Structure 1
């Protein structure tokens, strides 16, 4: 008998922990379960078909754990897999459950954060190639101009704990410069990858001081709180025991060692051998 019905939080690796920590700060009473597909990370350079397949496997796993609501706390999965899962898979899998992403809630507010109406996006190759941010932002802010820059080296640097190393500076500056060359009127830059908050200090060192750097955690947390208020039929199905459980497709010891940097606290994960 299912005794816990938590909110599921999914990411290809560790980055979603930065989202989970912000969500728990705003919504501490609910139960949560986190899954990092670390064994197959990163997702950023993988094909649409592969990302969709991996993400759907994770969603099915969450449903088996009793989650009525799953948050894809991964920009690449949100950009490349969410819509297909929502439209094609969810009606047959669990029509009363919901799967949400983090691209749309960010796009709904990002236009208000730019006075000039010129926004830059720093993201993985997969997120950039999907064009999701451009499409979603234009729905809500048709006059806003958006420039994107893929940063393929940034996630591996963070995953391997090199975010504070001197060599990382070169790659931080490189991609910032490439982005700003596309539009010298950019006044706000979105870090559209959940790993990037760990690089935020260095990013701000190489970003002009008059450009606002925006992380997603607080935006996503506020959006989820609003969603639960508007959808009591989902909110009432989520248990409120203030628990959080962690799972990874990698060795648990490895996950525990690296995860503290993202979550801000010690944690103990359980390995999932097959999704």
Structure 2
């Protein structure tokens, strides 16, 4: 691992660009290589075995680009493949998921409190957040709910639409979310509707956005291993996808906050 090597980031599609944007803002000097597995999106309804197979292929690509760190910017892949990827990568690169930083944050700030979680079917079904939080024995009561309609609606451009507000309300009105003090956004798409979710709770519930928390973890990890890039005012960013359509490229403007030219790299040929 070299300090001037890039940071690799991958997701099931383009939702992980919210994490990429947060890392870019916090570490503007770093070079970034992003991979979105748009050919197989979404991962939320895929089997664990399928997600692991896709993730290994993507990690092989990022390792071929000599990435010093690999960020799994996807809750579904983090829950299904993190342990496997960490063993597979070994000491060739740092491997960071989006779940552990959030669990640590919740344990620090919400001990003894009731906290909600929304995410894909895969993330909620894995029970990974509850297991990790319970293991810390902080008295946190976690209420998790799968919200599978939200990510596809965001990708179809419905973020901010009244229909989105109605769907959010239908999900969050469940009794399980009564009296929660914070809500974990367990999908990297959800920061784009963070304000709408906060409005539903009349701004009385803390909405926990993993993208900013993960970016801080990446910075801390790089610093602890002496891998922070220095000397450059602005790093370069490259964006790869396993399937290309103009619609995917247009969506990068929404998720990344600026236009990103996508390069096609099929996982299987």
- Is this contact kept in 1: 2:112–2:139, CA < 8 A? no
> Which residue in 2 is equivalent to 1:39?
39
- Is this contact kept in 1: 2:6–2:33, CA < 8 A? yes
> Which residue in 2 is equivalent to 1:264?
257
- Is this contact kept in 1: 2:36–2:240, CA < 8 A? yes
- How large is the Cα RMSD of the aligned pairs? 2.1
Residue ranges of structure 2 left out of the alignment (5+ in a row): none
How do 1:1-275 residues align onto structure 2 when only pairs under 5 Å count?
A: 5-87=5-87, 89-91=88-90, 95-114=91-110, 117-178=113-174, 181-232=175-226, 235=227, 242-251=235-244, 253-274=246-267
Q: Deviations over 1:96-116 (max 9, x none)?
A: 322221100111111333375
Give the helix-richer structure, 1 or 2: 1
Q: Structure 1 stretches (4+) deviating beyond 6 angstroms?
A: 236-239
CA positional deviation for 1:164 = 2.5
CA positional deviation for 1:231 = 1.5
Residue ranges of structure 1 left out of the alignment (5+ in a row): none
Change (3 A) 1:237 1:164: closer
Q: Deviations over 1:196-218 (max 9, x none)?
A: 01111221222243211111121
State how far apart, in whole Å, the 1-side matches of 2:20 and 2:117 are: 22
Change (3 A) 1:274 1:184: closer
- Residue aligned with 1:38, SS: coil
- Residue aligned with 1:198, SS: helix
Number of matched residues? 265
State how far apart, in whole Å, the 1-side matches of 2:222 and 2:243 are: 32
State how far apart, in whole Å, the 1-side matches of 2:245 and 2:179 are: 45
